[in-house]
Chains A and B, each alone.
Chain A
Amino acid sequence: MSLINSLDLKSLITNVVGNVFDTMLSMEVESMEGQPLESNNGTQIVGSVGFAGAVLGNLNLHVNEEFACRITAAMLGMETDEIEGDEEVHDVIGELCNMICGDLKSRLCDVGLTCELSIPSITSGKEFKIESRGWDRSEHFGFRSHNHTALVAVYMKSAN
């Protein structure tokens, strides 16, 4: 089994998402394992961080606009009506994505899959679906916090 396929991605992502949401947002999240992931309603905001080196890949964090605003308010210690604009929301989602992917990158490096991270980027819009092909691993993990859901998608493949 290759190093990429032997990674326990589920535990890794579940632990880091729980830790990031708890520490930065004081929000509890639970894994939606075994539950259908809800279709994307309304405007979606997707944070994305890539990694490249011995392993290539991408980690995307999908949330809807309402949850993104709640996350932003929690991160910055304010109410949602105090958010100045999209730039603030995008920066927060990008930073959360960076923290989650930073942990993934660290675990990859620890097992010898050395790689570097990209700067976070943001995509937002309505009724879009991301399809990503040609990866050794392509996995999605759903999380719920009260009435909101977040989706973490991880794609990776060996550079060789």
Chain B
Amino acid sequence: MALKVLTVDDSKTIRMIVKKAFKQYDCAMFEAENGVEGLAMTAKEKPDLIVLDITMPVMNGIEMLERLKSEATLKDIPVIMLTAESGKDNVMQIVKMGVKDYMVKPFKGEDLIGRVEKIMKLTLKSADDGTADNGNKYFSQIEDVTVMALPLRVTRPVSVEVESKLQSKLKDMAESQHKKMILDLCKVAETNVSLIKLIISTLQRCQSAKVAVKVVASAKQGEELKSFQETGGIPVLNTIEEARAALS
């Protein structure tokens, strides 16, 4: 059964970012614009998790949390606070009120998911779920090597999607004891900042997951990567075969 997640935030932007963060997981999303609406929605839907902003009109997040904790039937619902304020007093107050975790804005959706996964298990939407997108479009398998091929155009939205798919793929790889990956850039038409950041984050994620990774790119792309300080030192191979040989 889908987990129920309630986002309480007066900013539609933040509600959209949270919704997108959970997009690939089997979650039913609910929204409220302030504490009053949040309490009503909580009583009605009994969510499994509440992502709660602090500064809101009508009723702020602190007051909503206080009321939540005073209701016997609602007090055990885990709450993650989202706050733009990282001051010591603010953080101490939040922690004392019994929230499961808190995140300071600015934040990335994937970081929120990381915090949620410390509290509860999230299940990816099944492949036959019409609402799930095809995460496998970036990945293929050659024996024990996973190949992640980036598309023609790497924009920020594409990067966000690839990063979230990679996170899931690395988990699958850890379970199946596959520890080799090739990052294939050959289809990418333009070397831009989004691509550079995606390469760096991919290498970092693979390193954290103890997955050996090799980068495959055309000679021209290799030269372009060298011109960026962040990617200048990354060894680039020109074919998948070379990369497989280097990984063996």
Contacts and interface: CB of A to CB of B under 8 A. Distances in A.
Interface in B178-233: 193-194, 197
B57 A119 contact: yes
Interface in A54-83: 74-78
B127 interface: no
Contacts of B11: 91, 94-95, 98
Nearest to A87: B12
Given A77-B156, A91-B13, A28 B86 contact: no
Given A23-B106, A106-B90, A119-B57, A76 B84 contact: no
Interface size of B as a range: 20 to 34
Interface residues of A, number: 32
B234 interface: no
B137 interface: no
Given A20-B106, A95-B13, A102-B105, A117 B85 contact: yes
A110 B87 contact: yes
Interface of chain A, main secondary structure: helix
B14 interface: yes
Given A77-B20, A108-B87, 15 more contacts: A23-B106, A23-B107, A25-B156, A26-B193, A26-B194, A28-B193, A77-B156, A77-B157, A77-B160, A88-B12, A88-B13, A92-B13, A98-B55, A106-B85, A119-B55
Nearest to A110: B87
A99 interface: yes
A113 to B, nearest CB: 10
B107 to A, nearest CB: 7
Interface in A98-142: 98-99, 101-103, 105-110, 114, 117, 119
